[in-house]
Amino acid sequence: MPSSLAALQTRLGHRFSDTQLLTRALTHRSFGADHNERLEFLGDAVLSLAISSLLFERFAGSDEGDLTRVRAHLVREDTLHKVALTFGLPDALRLSDGEARGGGAQRPSILADALEAVIGATFVDAGFDAARAMVERMFGDMTLNTDIASWTKDAKTELQEWLQARRIAVPTYCISATRGQAHAQTFQVECAVPALSCAQLGEGKSRRVAEQEAARRMLDALQSSDKQGINLRA
C-alpha cells in the first residue's frame, strides 16, 4: 500500500478492508475510467444523512428550518474543501498530468467531490455506522463548538467571500423594479458579476431582502457551474 494511503487512513480513522475502494475514491475522472464519480454520488447521500443525524442530536431545540440551514453550510463545497485540506486529501489524489499541472489537487470542486467519494467508499467498505463515525470526526468540532446563529452568515457575505477566494471582483446590486403601494412595496434587485457576465434577480419586501435573495441565487448558480466543471470565466 502506498504510504500516502496508509497515512490518509490514519487521519481518517478508518482502515479499509478493501483499499481499492479508497484508491477509486481518490481517482479523478481525468486519471482513468475507474474514477470516483459513482462513489461521490453515494457519499453525497451518506454525508447528508450523517450530518442530519448529528445535527438532530446536537441541536435538540432547533426547528427544521434552522437545521436545514446549518446542514446546507456543512455540506456545501467550500466547507467540504476545507475539510479535505485538513485531512490531507490533495496528497493522495490521482489526477492526470494535465489536471495536476493546472492545480487540480487544490481545486475546491475536485477536493469536495473526493471527500464525498471517500465517505461513500467507507459506507461500501464497512456500512453506515463507520461512515457516520468518519463524518463525526470530520465535522464534529464544527457542530459541537458552535451555535445555530454562527451558521447563518448572510448570502451577500458568502457570495463575496466565494468570489474573492477565486480572485473575482465583488458583485454589484441595483434595483431593477418596484411594485405595489409605497407602504407595501416589493423590490426586485439584480445581482451582477461583471467579470463573469452573469446576473440573477431577487425579490423581497425590502431592498435588503431582495439583495440577499439575488445573492443566494447567484451563489447557487455559480457553485452549480463550478461543480459541473464549467469554466466560469469563459
Residues forming the active site = 44, 116
**3-class DSSP assignment, residue 186:** strand
Grid coordinates in use for 152?
Answer: 447563518
Grid coordinates in use for 19?
Answer: 483499499
- Half-sphere CA count of 40, side-chain side, radius 13 A: 18
Residue 149: count of CB within 10 angstroms of its CB: 8
Query: What Å distances lie between residue 58 and 107, 121, 141, 153, CA to CA?
Result: 31, 26, 11, 20
Asked if 188 and 176 count as a contact pair (C-beta separation under 8 A), the reply is yes
Q: Tell me which residue has cell 461543480.
A: 227
Grid coordinates in use for 144?
Answer: 459541537
Asked if 32 and 99 count as a contact pair (C-beta separation under 8 A), the reply is no
Instruction: Tell me how long the chain is.
Output: 234
CA neighbor of 125 nearest in space, from 230, 34, 15? 15
What distance in Å separates the CA atoms of residue 126 and residue 141, rounded to the nearest whole number?
Answer: 23
Asked if 78 and 55 count as a contact pair (C-beta separation under 8 A), the reply is no
